[in-house]
Chain A
C-alpha cells in the first residue's frame, strides 16, 4: 500500500505562476523525498527533507514538512513550461528506510 498521497492529482497553470502540490502520509517517517518524472522518462530526485527539518530550498523549489499534520508541500516558484512533469513524494519510514511512492501530481505549465 502507498504511504504518501499527492494532492491535487492534476494541476494546470500559466508560465510565471507558482505551483504548489501537497503530500499527506499516514505513519511516522524518517524522511520524505520529492521526485520529478518527465513523460516517458525515469524519475529524477529533487529534494530530501528529514523528519527533524521543517523547510528546505533548492533553486526555485521550496519544500516544507509538518510532521504534526503528516504532510509536506512542494512549491515551484515562477514556473516554466519545462517544469511540466509528474511530481511524486516518497516517504521513508521504519527500519528499512525504503521509500514508498505516492501516485503523483501531474503538472502542466502553459507557455
Chain B
C-alpha cells in the first residue's frame, strides 16, 4: 500500500497563476484533510472532507477550493495564487474523523 500520495512534490508559481494539488489514499478511509504548515505556525486546517460527497471549511479556507472526487481522491485548488500562500501543504486521511490521521509527504509551494 502506498498510503497517502501527493503530487507534485515541489511547485513554483507566479502571483495570479492557478494550480491543483492532488492527493490520493489507498486505505479506504472516509475522511480526508488539507493542511498548510508555515514556520512557527504548526499545521493549520484548510478544508476537510468527513466522508465522500461532503467538504467543510477549516481554519484558513480563503483563497482555496477543494473537490472530493471520489473516496480515494481529494484535491486542493488555488485559483489565483498569492505570495501569502507560499507554504508546505499536507494531505491526510483517517478512517473516520477525529482519530489517527495518516499524512502524505507534502507539497512545497512557492509563489513569487
A100 touches B45 (CB 8 A): yes
B106 touches A41 (CB 8 A): yes
Q: Interface size bucket, A side?
A: 20 to 34
B97 touches A96 (CB 8 A): yes
Cβ of B41 within 8 Å of any chain A Cβ, yes or no, is: yes
Q: Interface size bucket, B side?
A: 20 to 34
B23-45 interface code vs A (CB 8 A; 1 in, 0 out): 00000000001010000111111
- On chain B, the residues within 8 Å of A14 by CB distance are none
A48 touches B100 (CB 8 A): yes
Cβ of A25 within 8 Å of any chain B Cβ, yes or no, is: no
Cβ of A59 within 8 Å of any chain B Cβ, yes or no, is: no
Residues of B at the A interface (CB closer than 8 Å) are: 4, 33, 35, 40-45, 48, 50, 56, 58-59, 90, 92, 97-106
Given pairs A2-B44, A42-B103, 10 additional interface contacts (CB within 8 A): A1-B59, A30-B98, A42-B104, A42-B106, A43-B43, A43-B90, A45-B101, A97-B98, A98-B48, A99-B101
Residues of A at the B interface (CB closer than 8 Å) are: 1-2, 30-31, 33, 35, 40-45, 48, 88, 92, 96-104
